[in-house]
Structure 1
Amino acid sequence: MSRRTTTPSNSNLYRFHRPKLPVRDTPHPLKPESELYLRNLSTHRTKRPAPPYPRAHSAAVLVALFVGRAGDIYVLLSQRAKTLRSYAGDTALPGGRIDDDDKTIEDTARREAFEEIGLPQDKSKLPMLCILDPFLAGNEVLVTPVVVLILDNTLKPVLNAPEVDTLFSHPLASFLSTTFPERAAPRGPFPEAEAHAETAAVELRYHAHHDLPWPWSRPSHPTNGAHSTTTTTTRRAVRMHRFLTGREAGGIKPIYGLTAAILIQTATIACGRPPEFPVEARGQPGLNERVAWSLRHPGKRLEEAMRREGFDAKRAALIWDKWEAGKWRAGRFQQRLPFRL
């Protein structure tokens, strides 16, 4: 991850455009279902951009897709370095927090992918397919996924050793399944992404989940000058998903938590169908409710970020309350320009 910003404004973060991308430009011929997946992603539009959130606690990840030799769609994943202070050794998507020089969420995702795994920032080689609604990470960072398609199969990885240990790939459609995907011949633009996965033990479940109580049980730091309090758990919960990579014998961790949630959403949009498993826990709070709760009961770091930026948490929480109800209007930030295959 790179330096973090304290710039207060994030009004232009969701401005972007999508170029035309003929299917014939993909490195390998597409299967009919893969062509449909790309069309679905390229025509996806968020209903409205995300409401205000502290810029220093805003981040982006790059969901980098590519076409395998058999015409299937894969996503690039990395193993975070085991020496990192946070999420050491986890399986993740390249990404990080917004920098002062980032003009859009897309800029953040592309810059971080370049710094971590060497993906070029050339938009003609990695055109954008869509931007998804954000996700709230456990550390109260609002993470926006940016989905791109790798068109250049000659790319070579340049892994940033202090941040990334390994690069590999996984079939996109498998994030809707409860069973292991079939392993095909080596594929992908990167040598690290082409390694065969070890055969998984029969007794291991490819997909599993567990539910975490919500609100999170931790000290809160109200911004109204009141003393810190301790929140209590309720019977509501947030579901965390886990997918095995088949590489666990080699030290690769399963795909879990935020990364799994992002890839489930990406696969759902691409395939145009729901997963084979329930995505949410019964009564699970929506993103807007969880973000509004965090703004009203911020952890120490989020509270400090809001104070530095002069962020109006009370007003922002009210906007987040109404976001999913359709009362947040996109205005001039609406995604206007079409992207056609």
Structure 2
Amino acid sequence: MAGMSSKRLQKELVKIQTTSLPPGIALVCAPDLREWQMDLSILDNPLYPPTDKYRLRFMFSSSYPIEAPEVVFAAVSTPERKIPLHPHIYSNGIICLDLLDKQGWSPVHNVESICISIQSMLAGNTKAERPPGDAEFVRSNRQRPRDINFLYHDPKKALANLRSFASGPTNYYKCPLPRRAAVLILLIADRRGDLRVVLTIRSATLKNYAGQAALPGGKADSLSESPFYTARREAMEEIGLPMSDHKLPAGYSVEHLTELPTNLAMTELGVRPCVAYLKAPPPSAQNRNPDAARDILPTLDAREVAAVFTAPFYNFLKERDVDPDVRRDTPGEWYKGTWHSWHETAWRMHQFWVPVSPSTVFLANYKQERRKDADTTAVKSPSSKADASNPKSVQSQGSSGRSSSSLQPPLPRSFYSIAGDALAQPRYRVFGMTARILVDCARVAFGEEPEYEHNSHFGDEEMIDRLIRIGRLSSIKKEGEVLTREVMMKAAKAKI
């Protein structure tokens, strides 16, 4: 081993052999300076009887302590040592702990501090379970533990947060039928258990929002339809998601989680976001490797959808790609944001560039038509980041927090146009109301605020109410009727 690494390990070993380690931590053997074995016992958690011991195996490289050691639990028959049950410990002994990865490691740590951290993690555990997707991870992972990119958030907690979210009173039902629409935020778990959200690229032949990324959804067909029914019906037409569980592949089911506050679309629709989770079955003889994206998403309606793709849900709170492998394999910007005047207040225009790969995108079985508009060009990821060095949320009422001079001019029509070859891009652009809905949904799910500047309020319930009070959002839309600045100013003054 390199001199620095050898000297450091010899020093640590002498200290461990000559001084007392904390209770429940013991050196088993250190036959050389490349591999050590330690035993842990947990003294104050009924999930782990104090008589049980768990074997840790340390593997050191010549770059230690600059590089983290490889630390895993090992199953031993004599004396018996099992892999402890924990939501961050896989059944093959690999530990999901930020201290042990490339980004979380610091040379100030040592064998003793690592043991203390893992012991503390076990002592505070309340769930005797494996990480989500344990069986698939153990079966398919080929990376060494320290090279694995773990995402440190809890998908189960995110789903629980969405289940418990109450959006409060809504003005959706005040909107007449022609003004009602709903979208489906369909969440699925990837092989690691991390949540991804299902999105579509709209067909280039559609009248509205052609070629843009969107959530499955559309207008209500009757006043008796609930928003969830509308969203599910549209999802069936667009991405082939059946309306009832018994028509799904065996073992799959859709859980309705919550609804978010209604948003106001530029086309003067009240859009109700409905959040659902597509549950995959456990592995079985019939389906040894359940994969929601593979088993369900490839069924497309080529009349409305050019492609279906999935995006990392948690990443919608971040300024850049969370996964370093994505940053390496699909270089490009993830996020850019600018402030604009909308609803007579400062409104954040979010733009995300979602990296796609053969495993995350499914194209419709027809040749994508190119747009005839010569002014449109494929939108590529920007070369520089938006300035978000001082992120803060902006209140919904008034333009406080943004001076009029800091707001960008109205967006040109070409901003909303997508060329036909956009599907060939390595990243798909998600922006506008779709992006805003995803940001708000991620805020609720993960209990975090975005790293970038954003609007603090959820949805547009108040503005929808004000517009209805001044006679807008009526059942009949007049020719040439648009939401002008004057209309929005009048609505802002309406009494509620």
TM-score calculated relative to the size of structure 2: 0.46
Secondary structure of 1:305's aligned partner = coil
1:25-77 superposed Cα distances (whole Å, 9 cap, x missing partner): x9935987111111111111122233612221110000000111011000011
The answer for the alignment partner of 1:125 in structure 2 is 253
1:245 aligns with 2:354: yes
Give unpaired runs (5+ residues) of structure 2. 1-128, 138-151, 246-251, 281-291, 357-379, 381-421, 479-490
The verdict on how the C-alpha distance between 1:264 and 1:197 changes in structure 2, with shifts beyond 3 A counting, is farther
1:161 aligns with 2:302: yes
1:199 aligns with 2:336: no
The answer for the alignment partner of 2:207 in structure 1 is 85
Secondary structure of 2:196's aligned partner = strand
The answer for the alignment partner of 1:136 in structure 2 is 264
Deviation larger for 30-39 or 174-183: 30-39
Counterpart of 1:200, as a letter, is P
- Percent identity, aligned pairs only, is 31
Larger radius of gyration: 2
Secondary structure of 2:455's aligned partner = coil
Whether the 8 Å contact between 2:198 and 2:309 is mirrored in structure 1 is yes
Secondary structure of 2:253's aligned partner = coil
Counterpart of 2:349, as a letter, is M
Whole-angstrom distance in 2 between the partners of 1:183 and 1:169? 18
Whether the 8 Å contact between 2:260 and 2:459 is mirrored in structure 1 is no
The answer for the alignment partner of 1:268 in structure 2 is 443
1:259-286 superposed Cα distances (whole Å, 9 cap, x missing partner): 00110011001101111122129xx997
Whole-angstrom distance in 2 between the partners of 1:261 and 1:156? 23
The answer for the alignment partner of 1:174 in structure 2 is 315
**Cα shift at 1:213:** 2.0
Whole-angstrom distance in 1 between the partners of 2:198 and 2:328? 14
Counterpart of 2:340, as a letter, is L
Whether the 8 Å contact between 1:89 and 1:253 is mirrored in structure 2 is no
Query: What does 1:225-244 align with in structure 2 at a 5 Å threshold?
Result: 236-244=345-353
**Cα shift at 1:102:** 5.3
Whole-angstrom distance in 1 between the partners of 2:342 and 2:328? 36
Counterpart of 2:308, as a letter, is L
Counterpart of 1:38, as a letter, is L
Whole-angstrom distance in 2 between the partners of 1:138 and 1:305? 16
Whole-angstrom distance in 2 between the partners of 1:200 and 1:214? 32
The verdict on how the C-alpha distance between 1:93 and 1:72 changes in structure 2, with shifts beyond 3 A counting, is same
The answer for the alignment partner of 2:116 in structure 1 is none
1:82-118 superposed Cα distances (whole Å, 9 cap, x missing partner): 1111101000100000012853111101000000010
Whether the 8 Å contact between 1:243 and 1:254 is mirrored in structure 2 is yes
Secondary structure of 1:40's aligned partner = helix
Q: Per chain length, whose mean CA-contact separation is higher, i.e. which structure has more relative contact order (CA < 8 Å, sep 6+)?
A: 1
Secondary structure of 1:111's aligned partner = helix
Whether the 8 Å contact between 1:91 and 1:255 is mirrored in structure 2 is yes
Whole-angstrom distance in 1 between the partners of 2:223 and 2:470? 30
1:28 aligns with 2:199: no
1:50 aligns with 2:171: yes
TM-score calculated relative to the size of structure 1: 0.65
Out of 142, 147, 171, the residue aligned to residue 275 of structure 2 is: 147
The verdict on how the C-alpha distance between 1:107 and 1:59 changes in structure 2, with shifts beyond 3 A counting, is same
The answer for the alignment partner of 2:228 in structure 1 is 106
1:38 aligns with 2:159: yes
The answer for the alignment partner of 1:277 in structure 2 is 452
The answer for the alignment partner of 1:210 in structure 2 is 338
Whether the 8 Å contact between 1:126 and 1:149 is mirrored in structure 2 is yes
The two structures, once aligned, show a CA RMSD in angstroms of 3.4
Whether the 8 Å contact between 1:198 and 1:246 is mirrored in structure 2 is no
The answer for the alignment partner of 2:192 in structure 1 is 70
The verdict on how the C-alpha distance between 1:270 and 1:83 changes in structure 2, with shifts beyond 3 A counting, is same
**Cα shift at 1:210:** 2.1
The answer for the alignment partner of 2:487 in structure 1 is none
Secondary structure of 1:87's aligned partner = coil
Whole-angstrom distance in 2 between the partners of 1:267 and 1:286? 14
Counterpart of 2:330, as a letter, is T
Whole-angstrom distance in 1 between the partners of 2:236 and 2:170? 25
Give unpaired runs (5+ residues) of structure 1. 1-23, 186-195, 216-233, 308-316, 323-341
Secondary structure of 1:140's aligned partner = coil
The answer for the alignment partner of 1:287 in structure 2 is 460
Counterpart of 2:201, as a letter, is Q
**Cα shift at 1:81:** 0.5
The answer for the alignment partner of 1:225 in structure 2 is none
The verdict on how the C-alpha distance between 1:280 and 1:72 changes in structure 2, with shifts beyond 3 A counting, is same
Counterpart of 1:174, as a letter, is N
**Cα shift at 1:295:** 2.7
**Cα shift at 1:172:** 0.6
